[in-house]
Chain A
Amino acid sequence: MERGFELMTMTSRERVLGLFEGKEVDRIACYSGMGNVTTAALEQLGYRFPEIHGDAQKMAAAGASSYHLFGYECAVIPWDMCVEAEALGCVMNAYEDVAHLLYPTIKEKIIHAPEDMSKVTIPPDYPERGRFPVVMEALGAIKKEIGNEVAVGTWLLGPFTLAGQIMDLNDLFKLVFKKPAEVNALLDTLADGLIMVAKKYKEAGADYITIREMGAPTDVLSPRSFKQVIKPHLEKIFSQIDSPKILHICGDTNLIIGMMNECGADAISVETKNDLVKSREVIGPEPLLFGKIDGYNVLVNGTPEDVERAVLESIEGGVDAVWPACDIWPTAPLSNLRAMVETVKKYGAEKWARKNR
């Protein structure tokens, strides 16, 4: 009886982190390892999207907003994939003067020729460069504000995706074939930098970290290439950063799900294109698998009924946390986001395969 009471009063934080610690938790949690700010929140806060990437206070307020607005069970920052590259000398574009919502991109890269690959080094003060300190300050602020109630998350790019930010991705693709040793050396260097930053992010207040290797699904790369240039570096990263740590890859991942599971993460997160039932056939019931609500087609364009259907499909597909397939697209209406959280609350115990084994 007493234990039941404990389970019933679990906070989102205990629910999210308890799962990684192997504790019994009451139900599946509804959260994310990736961006989930909404335009509804930005309007309330009076911020424009380009402003929240470089100001710690605004970043913290926007990061905590989904918990406040629709009971999302996490707070995650940042939203753009330029932080790691900027700290290496790239220049980002936040599209300050474009009226509609655009995600920041890198406008100046640092590798312009294959020879430049070997010139990349990680400065000893890498985590103090660029916007890393902004992210860390914001992590601390969020932790202080709501850290007792929800888990605070952050994310870093995988080394291959980061390489695609600091050099032309087309060139990188070809160099995987033409100069594999040089590519692997570069990715190994980048992995060292990411490990340094992951440690600092944890110290700054991150409860869990997602590594997003979004440039490596089989829409793009072969399983053979995944094994040669993606997996070894992810293995290195996961062996050297603290738990909880999650690996996320967008796009098609069924052909590589077995290898993703061997990278050493505590959980793997997949996109809408992944067939969960087939994934479970490969990895079995034990590994933690998160996913896969389409952050645009369902959460923005769908109705609350579509959202409920998508949530049930993920839960019945065998996920251990309902995560969106990628960033939640900011224009998603709150009614849909509430429907997502409510559906998970309603069915997250009863239909959770792990709980009912």
Chain B
Amino acid sequence: MATEKEQELLEKLANGVVNYDEEAVKEAAQEWLALGLDPNKAVFDGLVKGMQECGRLYEEQEYFVPELLMCADALYAGLDILRPHMKSEDVGVRGQVVMGVVQGDVHDIGKNLVKVMFEAAGFTVHDLGRDVPLEKFVEEQLRTDSEIVALSAMMTTTMVGMKNIIKAIKEKNPKAKIMIGGAPVTEDIAAKFGADGYAKDASNALKDAINMISSLRDLT
């Protein structure tokens, strides 16, 4: 059971994220550590809980993209303080993801939201940005040995480029899991292109990624 003080700080963390108040988040995180409390709890019952509320507000069209990016910054401010104090087994590093928008496509708003969800949930994200040439994805996957590669495309012609990226990555590293998304992508297309997963939005993308990682770990 959380004490009253703990409860107060967890709320301050969550509200700080929702109200994109970086200062409040930093203060609460520092106070939490000063009290010698478990940083893992602050992340998952404070920061991440706040971010989930932001996701709800976004779905209700109360919050929009800029608001979410501001909330994410508040979340990162808290993570920066808390993460170094987490024991490695609880850091919650669920895995590594290489992420980017494919060549010829600058639409990166959706990808950035997916990234926020992944980082909040404890993934290490190697973000290649937008307009990323095919080879970059292959190289980055090999360099980081990431379990997952997440590709985003918002235009139909750029989406077609995903097929070659998937092929190239699978050739070099058949174990890598690939998920794709973006408005023109569908379940069918993902299957046709040989991707391991598809999600229509950021929260489903996260669920899929967690499943992928657990299935990989079950194998080893």
Contact A221 B66 (CB under 8 A): yes
Bound: A177/B70 CA distance, A: 8
| With A105-B131, A169-B109, A220-B64 as contacts: A98 and B103 at CB distance below 8 Å | yes
- B69 at interface, CB cutoff 8 A: yes
Contact B157 A177 (CB under 8 A): no
Interface residues in A137-156 (C-beta closer than 8 Å to B): none
- B104 at interface, CB cutoff 8 A: yes
Contacts of B103 in A (CB 8 A): 98, 102
Contact B157 A101 (CB under 8 A): yes
Contact B156 A220 (CB under 8 A): no
Contacts of A100 in B (CB 8 A): 157, 160-161
Q: Pick from A107, A169, A255: contact of B61, CB below 8 A.
A: A255
| With A107-B131, A170-B112, A255-B61 as contacts: A102 and B66 at CB distance below 8 Å | no
Q: Pick from B64, B156, B161: contact of A225, CB below 8 A.
A: B64
Contacts of B157 in A (CB 8 A): 100-102, 329, 331
Contacts of A225 in B (CB 8 A): 64, 66
Residue of A nearest to B133 (CB): A98
- B20 at interface, CB cutoff 8 A: yes
Contacts of A174 in B (CB 8 A): 66, 69-70, 73
Contact A296 B69 (CB under 8 A): no
Residue of B nearest to A252 (CB): B61
Contact B64 A329 (CB under 8 A): no
Contacts of B160 in A (CB 8 A): 100
Interface size on A, residues (CB 8 A): 27
- B158 at interface, CB cutoff 8 A: yes
Bound: A300/B112 CA distance, A: 28
- B210 at interface, CB cutoff 8 A: no
| With A100-B160, A102-B104 as contacts: A222 and B69 at CB distance below 8 Å | no
Query: What is the predominant secondary structure among interface residues of chain B facing chain A?
Result: helix
For the complex formed, measure the closest distance between the CB of A325 and the CB atoms of chain B, giving whole angstroms: 13
For the complex formed, measure the closest distance between the CB of A305 and the CB atoms of chain B, giving whole angstroms: 21
Bound: A169/B65 CA distance, A: 11
Contacts of A102 in B (CB 8 A): 103-104, 157-158
- A176 at interface, CB cutoff 8 A: yes
| With A169-B109, A177-B20, A220-B109 as contacts: A95 and B104 at CB distance below 8 Å | yes
Bound: A81/B106 CA distance, A: 12
Contact A221 B158 (CB under 8 A): no
For the complex formed, measure the closest distance between the CB of A174 and the CB atoms of chain B, giving whole angstroms: 6
For the complex formed, measure the closest distance between the CB of A80 and the CB atoms of chain B, giving whole angstroms: 11
Of A100, A176, A300, most B-chain CB atoms within 10 Å:
A100
Contact code string A313-357 (vs B, CB < 8 Å = 1, else 0): 000000000000000010100000000000000000000000000
- B27 at interface, CB cutoff 8 A: no
- A218 at interface, CB cutoff 8 A: yes
- B196 at interface, CB cutoff 8 A: no
- B6 at interface, CB cutoff 8 A: no
Contact A329 B66 (CB under 8 A): no
Interface residues in B93-108 (C-beta closer than 8 Å to A): 103-104, 106, 108
Interface residues in B62-84 (C-beta closer than 8 Å to A): 63-67, 69-70, 73
For the complex formed, measure the closest distance between the CB of A117 and the CB atoms of chain B, giving whole angstroms: 16
Contact B104 A98 (CB under 8 A): yes
User: 12 additional contacts, CB 8 Å, given A100-B160, A101-B157, A105-B131?
Assistant: A100-B157, A102-B158, A106-B106, A169-B108, A170-B108, A170-B112, A174-B73, A176-B66, A218-B64, A222-B63, A225-B66, A329-B157
Interface positions of B (Cβ within 8 A of A): 20, 61, 63-67, 69-70, 73, 103-104, 106, 108-109, 112, 131, 155-158, 160-161, 184
Q: Can you identify 5 A-B contacts, CB atoms within 8 angstroms?
A: A170-B69, A170-B112, A176-B66, A221-B66, A296-B184
For the complex of A and B, the 8 pairs showing the least CB-CB separation, nearest first, are: A102-B104, A173-B66, A222-B64, A220-B65, A105-B106, A101-B157, A173-B69, A221-B64
